[in-house]
Structure 1
Amino acid sequence: MTLALLFPGQGAQDADFLHRLPPHDAVRATLDEASAILGIDVLTLDTADALRSTIAVQIGLTVAGVAVARALAHEGLVPRFSAGLSVGAYAAAVSCGSLAFADALRMVRKRAELMENAWPSGYGLSAIAGLSETQIETLAEISARENDGAVYVANVNAPRQIVVAGADAALDNFARRALAAGARKAQRLAVSVPSHCELLANAAEALTEFARGIPFQAPRGVYVDNRGGRPLHTGDAIRADLATNMRYTVRWFDALTVMVESGANVFVEAPPGQVLTDIAREHYADAASDVTAVAASGVSLERLTAIVKRRLGKEG
């Protein structure tokens, strides 16, 4: 049995999520370290008011992911696979030893600033359930042709769970069009920037330049990227993935499939997410498989550790 850690992206956050992290020495040390690096009390970043800021959200998610990864490592649970959705990829890079925590925080802060400054208001993301990527792309072409506004495929989280990016009016128009075409649901996400599309091309170029001076190492274990849903084996490749992933579609389902096909069968999702766990359960954890997926935010650390150790101990 092989462990994979999954780190959620923006949209998973809710008020007080940092305050609900496990009461573990490694968590407390990580919070203190992040506060010292950034010159702020990171526990001020998870209020409802603070979470209106892309910067606060992305820093908070990175801190939460690294804190729980370190707590699990302290308990003897070091993942073979690390993967994160969008900004979650930064915690994944820290988890696998490719990127220092301090450098990850500085890069995430720069990333969020660039994203927020590029499109400070009037844009976002919507999740569409029940249509395929091909259907979404066809509807997007119709929307553009009929002047309803441009939308872009931002995330392919599952075969029929697609996230689209665009301006508010375009997303509203697209939601109506998608529902009329048979979508089960069209829901705006708690994200205020048009992530993972060409609207962030300039921001990605600026972050690429910023990242040139940040040291990256070859990963311990396997880091799975966003853009291609494939393992990356060098520090330079992981740097490029992190610097540019805001510009490209997140191929999360491809990343999940690669991990399963490569032998990962115990998945733990870092706080505050549940969505990545649900996707893994729906598509890979059935009675005929040996795949287990657990959201760390749903159980105590003690209980989580016991579940994972029991599953990992079934073989060997």
Structure 2
Amino acid sequence: MTLALLFPGQGAQSTGFLHRLPQHDAVRTTLDEASTALGFDVLTLDSDDALHSTVAVQVGLTVAGVAVARALAQESLVPQFSAGLSVGAYAAAVSCEALAFGDALRMVRKRAELMESAWPSGYGLTAIAGLSETQVEALATAYAREDGKQVYVANVNAPRQIVVAGADSALEAFAARALAAGARKAQRLAVAVPSHCELLADAANTLTEWAREIPFRMPRGVYIDNRGGRPLYNADAIRADLATNMRYTVRWYDALTVMIESGASVLVEAPPGQVLTDIAREQCPDVAAVAGSGLSLNSLVAIVRRRLGEDA
């Protein structure tokens, strides 16, 4: 039995999520390290007001993911696979030791600042359930041709769970089109920027240049990328994935499939997420998927060890 650790992206956050992290020495140490590196108390990042900031959300999610990954590692649960959706990829890179935590925090803060300044308001993401990527792309093409407005496929989370990016007015109109075309649901996500599309090409180019001096290492275990849903073993390839993933479609279903086909049998989602667990349970029912949110560290460790076939 093989362990994979999954890290959620923006949209998983909720008020107080950092305060609800498991009580564990590794968690407390990580919070203190992050506060020192950033120059402020990171526990201020999960208030109602703070969560309106893309910077606060993305930094907070990175801290939460690394904290729980470290706590699990201290309990001898080290993943063979590490993967994160969107900004979650940074915690995944820290988890597999391809990137130092302090450097990840600096890079995430820069990434979020670039995204927020590129499109400070009026843009975001909408999740479409019940249509395939091909159907969504066809609707988007027709919409652009008829109304002159563009939406972009941002995430392929499952064969019929597609996220689109664009301006608020375009997303609202496209949601109505998608529902009329047979979508089960069209839901606006708690993301205030048009992630994973060409609208962030300039920001991705800037981050790529900025990150050239950030040291990366060959990962311990397997790091799964966002853009192709494939394993990356080279430090420069992981740097490029993290620097550019804001402009490319996240192919999460491909990443999930690769992990399972490569032997991952127990998937653990770091707080504060549940979405990646739900996708895994729906799409891959033979695999054990566990969400760490809401569990004490002792309970999470016991569940994971049991699923791995170890003594609890």
Pairwise same-fold verdict (TM > 0.5):
yes
Letter of the aligned partner of 2:290 in structure 1? V
* Greater alpha carbon shift after TM alignment, 181-190 vs 139-148: 139-148
Q: Secondary structure at the match of 1:40?
A: coil
Q: Secondary structure at the match of 1:146?
A: helix
Q: Distance in 2 between matches of 1:165 and 1:256?
A: 22
Q: Deviation string for 1:105-128 (max 9, x for gaps)? A: 000000000000000000000000
Unaligned runs of 5+ in 2: none
TM-score by length of 1: 0.97
Q: Distance in 2 between matches of 1:75 and 1:37?
A: 25
Q: Secondary structure at the match of 2:138?
A: helix
Q: Secondary structure at the match of 1:216?
A: coil
> After the TM superposition, which residues 154-303 of structure 1 pair with which residues of structure 2 at under 5 Å, given as runs?
154-285=154-285, 289=286, 291-303=287-299
Partner of 2:308: 312
Residue 92 (str. 1) matches residue 92 (str. 2): yes
Q: Distance in 2 between matches of 1:41 and 1:299?
A: 24
Moved over 4 A (4+): none
1:148 and 1:174 in contact (8 A); partners too: no
Partner of 1:132: 132
Q: Distance in 1 between matches of 2:256 and 2:273?
A: 15
1:5 and 1:79 in contact (8 A); partners too: yes
Count of residues in Structure 1 that have an aligned counterpart in Structure 2: 311
Q: 1:19 to 1:228 in 2, by over 3 A?
A: same
Q: Distance in 2 between matches of 1:118 and 1:196?
A: 13
Q: Secondary structure at the match of 1:212?
A: helix
Residue 20 (str. 1) matches residue 20 (str. 2): yes
> After the TM superposition, which residues 112-127 of structure 1 pair with which residues of structure 2 at under 5 Å, given as runs?
112-127=112-127
Offset, 1:310: 1.3
Letter of the aligned partner of 2:250 in structure 1? V
Q: Distance in 1 between matches of 2:306 and 2:157?
A: 28
> What is the identity percentage for the equivalent residue pairs of Structure 1 and Structure 2?
80
1:55 and 1:113 in contact (8 A); partners too: yes
Q: Distance in 1 between matches of 2:236 and 2:70?
A: 24
Q: Distance in 2 between matches of 1:126 and 1:224?
A: 24
Offset, 1:274: 0.1
Partner of 2:105: 105
Q: Secondary structure at the match of 2:186?
A: strand
Q: Distance in 2 between matches of 1:170 and 1:68?
A: 38
1:98 and 1:218 in contact (8 A); partners too: yes
Partner of 2:56: 56
Q: Deviation string for 1:258-305 (max 9, x for gaps)? A: 0000000100000000000000001112xxx3x100000032211110
* Greater alpha carbon shift after TM alignment, 46-55 vs 292-301: 292-301
TM-score by length of 2: 0.99
2:266 and 2:308 in contact (8 A); partners too: yes
Offset, 1:311: 1.6
2:20 and 2:294 in contact (8 A); partners too: no
Q: Secondary structure at the match of 2:35?
A: helix
Unaligned runs of 5+ in 1: none
Residue 82 (str. 1) matches residue 78 (str. 2): no
Partner of 2:3: 3
